[in-house]
Amino acid sequence: MLERVEAIAKRYEELTALLGSPEALADMETYKKLSKERAELGEIAAAYADYRKTEREMNEAFREAEKETGEMRELLLEEGYACKRALEEKESALKLLLLPKDEKDERSCTLEIRASAGGEEAALFAYELYRMYLGYCEKKKFRWDVVDVNETELGGIKEAIVSVVGKGAYGRLKYESGVHRVQRVPETESQGRIHTSTCTVAVLPEADEVEVRIDEKDVRVDLFRSSGAGGQKVNKTETAIRLTHFPTGIVVTCQDERSQLKNKEKAFRVLRARLFDHYNQKANSEEAANRRSLVGTGDRSERIRTYNFPQSRITDHRIGYSLHSMEAFLAGEIDELVDALARADREARLIDE
């Protein structure tokens, strides 16, 4: 493993030197290519340099301890063993960094939220999840591009489909796919009884036209008038789009924009993402069956998390991780849990290597 890391570190040094050469500076395409490769190796190179530094400090401490006696010898030995323990941790960290990355992690994604069991209470919670992810995307500087929202009269959401645009959006949100359960006393509950409701979340990586080719003969495009709030023009003009993909039966609706063309573009973006997900489900299922990942398959039918309002506790069942900060979490402060899930996933993949 260390030989592989050392080769990467050497390549990183070579790239650093090449980027300063007149040839690279004179050719922008070459410069961009070298810069990208160097950036991809940077984290491993830095971690390896830190590993070697700790290794030198350990060797020096043990070497000096051989020359000393008494209390000074004990202090030097203690320092050496501390470095040795740190070295083991840093070696584990290097192994994690060497794991192959999912190329889809850097993509934008489609986020779909649907109220499930629980009637209006589920719809109200779906709206809170919608606001939570919106807050998170604002913090991460991801663009929140609404495709379609089906609202209820009491301010809840039956279904919301959003394109989240930005580098790394899928990698940060992919662990959110599954069933989200809420336990709380609804405002309409006069007896103070706790109700349990559920919502489903699906996060699909964006697919480009090369990966998913859509034959126009396979898609029916229907135009209709947008429903719900939106002003006179939206309601009276046929700007909404419905796409029906005959081979799979997938239906996508977009009515957020006033422009028919923009709605059509958004709808096809979502259709490509759903088709990409549809055609990869079998392969993903086989991969998930062969992996012992603690974070599960990411399937939308899998219960992944419970939001317990009376105790202000959020528990992710895949890794047994709990937080007691409901207000902050629903405001979009979800990084701590996302990082824990990503860490558990990497560690499980390391076991399977």
Q: CATH number of the domain at 170, please.
A: 3.30.70.1660
7-29 pLDDT tens trace: 999 999 999 999 999 888 888 99
Range with top average pLDDT, 80-84, 143-147, 272-276: 80-84
pLDDT given for residue 269 in this prediction: 84
Separation CA 310–CA 221 (nearest Å): 47
pLDDT given for residue 77 in this prediction: 96
The reply to whether 47 and 176 lie within a common domain is no
pLDDT given for residue 301 in this prediction: 59
Ranges 62-76, 237-251, 292-306: which has the least confidence: 292-306
Which distant-in-sequence residues (6+ apart) come within 8 Å of 141 by Cβ? 166
pLDDT given for residue 282 in this prediction: 60
Mean pLDDT, residues 243-258 = 84
The reply to whether 166 and 246 lie within a common domain is yes
Q: CATH number of the domain at 65, please.
A: 1.20.58
353 pLDDT higher than 70: no
The reply to whether 27 and 126 lie within a common domain is no
Number of independent structural domains in the chain: 2
| pLDDT tier at 241, thresholds 50, 70, 90 | confident
254 pLDDT higher than 90: no
The reply to whether 192 and 161 lie within a common domain is yes
| pLDDT tier at 341, thresholds 50, 70, 90 | very high
346 pLDDT higher than 90: no
| pLDDT tier at 347, thresholds 50, 70, 90 | confident
Domain end residue (candidates: 77, 98, 119): 98
257 pLDDT higher than 90: no
Other CB atoms within 10 Å distance of the CB of residue 352: 10
pTM attached to this predicted model: 0.70
Q: What share of the chain in percent tops pLDDT 70?
A: 88
The reply to whether 233 and 256 lie within a common domain is yes
pLDDT greater at residue 235 or residue 250:
250
The reply to whether 17 and 110 lie within a common domain is no
334 pLDDT higher than 70: yes
The reply to whether 110 and 90 lie within a common domain is no
- Assign residue 25 a region (left: φ > 0; alpha: ψ between -120 and 50; beta: otherwise): alpha
Residue position matching structure tokens 């190796």: 41
185-199 pLDDT tens trace: 887 666 778 889 999
Ranges 5-9, 88-92, 275-279, 339-343: which has the least confidence: 275-279
Domain end residue (candidates: 82, 98, 114): 98
Mean pLDDT, residues 189-216 = 82
318: exposed, middle or buried (C-beta count within 10 Å: 0-12, 13-18, 19+)? buried
The reply to whether 224 and 169 lie within a common domain is yes
The reply to whether 6 and 139 lie within a common domain is no
Q: Spell out the SS3 assignment of the chain.
A: CHHHHHHHHHHHHHHHHHHCCHHHHHCHHHHHHHHHHHHHHHHHHHHHHHHHHHHHHHHHHHHHHCCCCHHHHHHHHHHHHHHHHHHHHHHHHHHHHHCCCCHHHHCCEEEEEEECCCHHHHHHHHHHHHHHHHHHHHHHCCEEEEEEEEECCCCCEEEEEEEEECCCHHHHHHHHCEEEEEEECCCCCCCCCCEEEEEEEEEEECCCCCCCCCCHHHEEEEEECCCCCCHHHHHHCCCEEEEEECCCCEEEEECCCCCHHHHHHHHHHHHHHHHHHHHHHHHHHHHHHHCCCCCCCCCCCCEEEEEECCCCEEEECCCCEEECCHHHHHCCCCHHHHHHHHHHHHHHHHHHC
The reply to whether 50 and 187 lie within a common domain is no
Which distant-in-sequence residues (6+ apart) come within 8 Å of 54 by Cβ? 83, 86, 87, 90
pLDDT greater at residue 7 or residue 154:
7
Domain end residue (candidates: 98, 124, 159): 98
The reply to whether 310 and 182 lie within a common domain is yes
The reply to whether 241 and 304 lie within a common domain is yes
236 pLDDT higher than 50: no
130 pLDDT higher than 90: yes
pLDDT greater at residue 264 or residue 313:
313
Mean pLDDT, residues 261-285 = 80
Mean pLDDT, residues 291-296 = 47
Residue 18 domain boundaries: 2-98
7: exposed, middle or buried (C-beta count within 10 Å: 0-12, 13-18, 19+)? exposed
272 pLDDT higher than 70: yes
pLDDT given for residue 317 in this prediction: 95
Question: Average pLDDT of the chain?
Answer: 86
291 pLDDT higher than 50: no
| pLDDT tier at 283, thresholds 50, 70, 90 | low
